[in-house]
Amino acid sequence: MKRKILLPTDFSKNAWHAICYAIELYKRDHCDFYLLNVYSSTGNIIDSLINAEPGSELYETAKLNSENGLAKVLDMLAFKDFDNPKHHFKTISTFNNAVEAIKGLVEEKDIEMIVMGTKGKTSSRGVAYGSTAINVMEKVRNCPVIVVPELALRILPKEIVFPTSFKTHLKRRELNYLIDIAKKCNASIKILHISEEAELNKHQANNKKILEEYFEDVDYSFHTLSHADIPMAINCFVESRESDMVAFINKKHVFFGSMLTHPLVKDIGRNSKVPILVMHDLRN
């Protein structure tokens, strides 16, 4: 069965790097890659949606630039000799809000993974994530996303860090994408707990035991850091071990109210070579 992977691009270097990362990650799989460019006729998407119409000069110029940009990406892929017979590329150019376009395509094409850059052409160097990446991670809850920093190495991950408090009972299906990547890449999963108490309580211990069942078919191990600032501890763990990926479960209205404001994610986005896999709490 073919995998269906969505690759949003604004034709920035970071977007191109994310495309190359996805090709490497899924190099052994039969895949349909959907290269998506969402365009507007002005810098303000609201103005564009209200005022621009097919046939107008602004609209037609933006459409032509989008289609030409996607054609150039296909040329670059051919030039780079990405000739994997298992991979097929399809281009989609659409006039819309980026998040709404991605949401719609995920449903229409039954997309199983989004792979995109952390930031695009308009994001400043001091910003870890562009607004599009943040909005996709937060609002496109029907599909996981891998966000790829510009400095990420184009290699298969060998060690994936999965931070957890053991306070939430996770469902197996919420972790399927993490398990799939670990199996595909023969990667180990490092389950990281930053402890606030000396021992796990009964509820946490039970959730830890459940994770052991979920991860029984992959190489995994538990790790604990005590009494440390959580974002700093995760960041230090990842850097010290030279881990290749960090995986999070995005709990609606919790993860993005906290983690994205912490130094951990800012540091990963700005300085690290580590892609982040964002999965979703399916109960929301």
Residues 50 and 185 in one domain: no
Residues 10 and 141 in one domain: yes
pLDDT tens digits, one per residue of 169-179: 888 998 999 99
Which DSSP state fits 160? E
Predicted TM-score (pTM) of this structure:
0.88
pLDDT tens digits, one per residue of 129-177: 667 888 888 888 889 999 998 888 888 999 999 998 898 888 899 899 9
Residue in 92, 73, 60 with CA at minimum distance from that of residue 23? 73
Assigned domain for 113 exists: yes
Residues 143 and 169 in one domain: no
Please give the pLDDT value at position 249.
86
Structure tokens at 142: 């029907």
Determine the structural domain holding residue 221 and report its residue range: 159-280
Which DSSP state fits 46? H
Residue in 102, 38, 32, 44 with CA at minimum distance from that of residue 67? 38
Q: What is the C-alpha separation between 267 and 269, in angstroms, rounded? A: 5
Residues 256 and 209 in one domain: yes
Residue ranges of the chain with per-residue pLDDT less than 70: 41-53, 55, 120-130, 227, 252-272, 282-284
Measured at the CA of 131, the angle between CA 27 and CA 76, to 5 degrees, comes to 35
Residues 237 and 188 in one domain: yes
Assigned domain for 153 exists: no
Residues 117 and 8 in one domain: yes
In the chain, the number of structural domains is 2
Assigned domain for 109 exists: yes
Which CATH number fits the domain that encloses residue 86? Answer: 3.40.50.620
In this structure, are residues 72 and 127 in contact, taking their beta carbons and an 8 Å threshold?
A: no
Please give the pLDDT value at position 252.
62
Assigned domain for 61 exists: yes
Residues 117 and 234 in one domain: no
Q: Cα 200 from chain centroid?
A: 31
Helix (H, G, I), strand (E, B) or coil at 7: strand
* CA distances from residue 184 to 168, 179, 180, 280 in whole angstroms, order as listed: 27, 9, 6, 20
Please give the pLDDT value at position 258.
45
Domain C-terminal end among 148, 176, 207: 148
Please give the pLDDT value at position 113.
97
Assigned domain for 123 exists: yes
Please give the pLDDT value at position 150.
84
CB contact set of 199 (below 8 Å; sequence gap of 6+):
none
Backbone torsion region of residue 253, taken as left when φ is above 0, otherwise alpha when ψ lies between -120 and 50, otherwise beta? left
Please give the pLDDT value at position 246.
92
Structure tokens at 272: 């690290």
